[in-house]
Chain A
Amino acid sequence: MVREALDQWDFVFAAYAIGIAGTLVTIGWSWLGMKRAEARRDRARRR
């Protein structure tokens, strides 16, 4: 029988890295998109 020697922590850290990075990128992208859109609306009001 062939048994794989998998380190469980490698999978835990990979899942945390992907999950945390994905969440932070989505937060940053949404926040910057909101700021950009609100600045565009304010510029249009001042014209």
Chain B
Amino acid sequence: MHGFANPKRFLGLAAWLTPLCLLLGLALTGGALAWGLFAAPADRLMGETVRIIFLHVPFAWLGMGGWAAMAAASLAFLVWRHPLAALAARAVAAPGAVFTALCLATGSIWGRPAWGTWWVWDGRLTSMLVLLFLYLAYIALAQAAAREGVSARIPAIFALLGAINLPIINRSVVWWNSLHQPASITLGKSTIDPAFLAPLAVAAFGFSLLFGGIVLARMRALLADAQADARLRRQALEAA
């Protein structure tokens, strides 16, 4: 684990892992979505709208998983001072925010025919919206810290504090009355019919690969920018 904190080793690994994750992710996600759209049956209660599950659930998992990864990377940065850990947390923020926004959008579209409304201020939807705002706040904070030369510890502490929202999202359907259904999949248990579970598993794996590929690409971009800035600063000092 500590060995991968070396930027040179990371770049060697990311050079082939980035296109592999993206290409494999595109193939698996495309296949799973086509399967869900054309081959999976309609649900007895939800009808055709059940097909939205193959997008909505992976977006929700990755929106929450993204923040968990940011918190873990931030903890690694605060404890071990890994040079790439703070960079990894920054790289996860943008795709995490996009996937959370897509979760809210697809959920809202699903809610209209299923519940008769686009939005309700219940625990699950509101805590997921809070997660989106936390992502936006983290992005603004991390950019300001990098621009002003302020310590990266401030966004790292913010990422750790923001992780408090994750168990709230998870337990919101248990703690409060909600239009949103309770969890259908928990550790080692599923109440979803295999006809839906199989394409959902492939879609979740495909979207996870895409998310990983995006994070690797963003890490490479942030690292290349940092290296270019350092090189230009050194050249300016030598010229002076």
Q: CB within 8 Å of B: which residues of A?
A: 6, 8-9, 11-12, 14-16, 18-20, 22-23, 26-27, 30-31, 33-34, 36-38, 40-41, 43-45, 47
In the assembled complex, which residues on chain B have CB atoms less than 8 Å from the CB atom of A9? 48
Q: What are 25 A-B contacts with C-beta separation under 8 Å?
A: A8-B49, A11-B112, A12-B37, A12-B52, A15-B52, A15-B55, A15-B106, A15-B109, A16-B37, A16-B52, A16-B55, A19-B55, A19-B56, A19-B102, A23-B210, A26-B94, A27-B213, A27-B214, A37-B220, A37-B228, A38-B220, A38-B221, A41-B228, A44-B227, A44-B235
In the assembled complex, which residues on chain A have CB atoms less than 8 Å from the CB atom of B55? 15-16, 19-20
On whether the beta carbons of B221 and A44 are closer than 8 Å, the reply is no
Chain B residue with Cβ nearest A22: B102
Q: A15-B55, A19-B106 are in contact. Are A41 and B33 (CB under 8 A)?
A: no
On whether the beta carbons of B224 and A18 are closer than 8 Å, the reply is no
Q: A11-B52, A22-B101, A23-B102 are in contact. Are A44 and B232 (CB under 8 A)?
A: yes
On whether the beta carbons of B228 and A30 are closer than 8 Å, the reply is no
Q: A19-B55, A34-B220 are in contact. Are A11 and B231 (CB under 8 A)?
A: no
In the assembled complex, which residues on chain A have CB atoms less than 8 Å from the CB atom of B35? none
On whether the beta carbons of B49 and A12 are closer than 8 Å, the reply is yes
Q: Which of A15, A31, A43 has the most CB of B within 10 A?
A: A15
On whether the beta carbons of B48 and A41 are closer than 8 Å, the reply is no
In the assembled complex, which residues on chain A have CB atoms less than 8 Å from the CB atom of B48? 8-9, 12
Q: Which residue of A16, A30, A44, A47 is within 8 Å of B217 (Cβ)? A: A30
Beyond A16-B33, A44-B228, A47-B231, 12 additional pairs, beta carbon < 8 A: A11-B49, A11-B112, A14-B109, A15-B106, A15-B109, A15-B110, A20-B33, A23-B210, A26-B214, A27-B22, A44-B231, A47-B235
Would you call B122 an interface residue if the criterion is a C-beta within 8 Å of the partner chain's C-beta atoms?
A: no
Number of B residues with CB within 8 Å of any CB on chain A: 41
Would you call B95 an interface residue if the criterion is a C-beta within 8 Å of the partner chain's C-beta atoms?
A: yes
In the assembled complex, which residues on chain B have CB atoms less than 8 Å from the CB atom of A18? 102, 105-106, 109
On whether the beta carbons of A31 and B22 are closer than 8 Å, the reply is yes
The CA of A34 and the CA of B109, in the complex, are separated in Å by: 33
In the assembled complex, which residues on chain A have CB atoms less than 8 Å from the CB atom of B94? 26, 30
Would you call B77 an interface residue if the criterion is a C-beta within 8 Å of the partner chain's C-beta atoms?
A: no
The CA of A20 and the CA of B99, in the complex, are separated in Å by: 11
Would you call B218 an interface residue if the criterion is a C-beta within 8 Å of the partner chain's C-beta atoms?
A: yes
Q: A11-B112, A33-B217, A34-B220 are in contact. Are A41 and B225 (CB under 8 A)?
A: yes
In the assembled complex, which residues on chain B have CB atoms less than 8 Å from the CB atom of A33? 217-218, 221
Would you call B47 an interface residue if the criterion is a C-beta within 8 Å of the partner chain's C-beta atoms?
A: yes
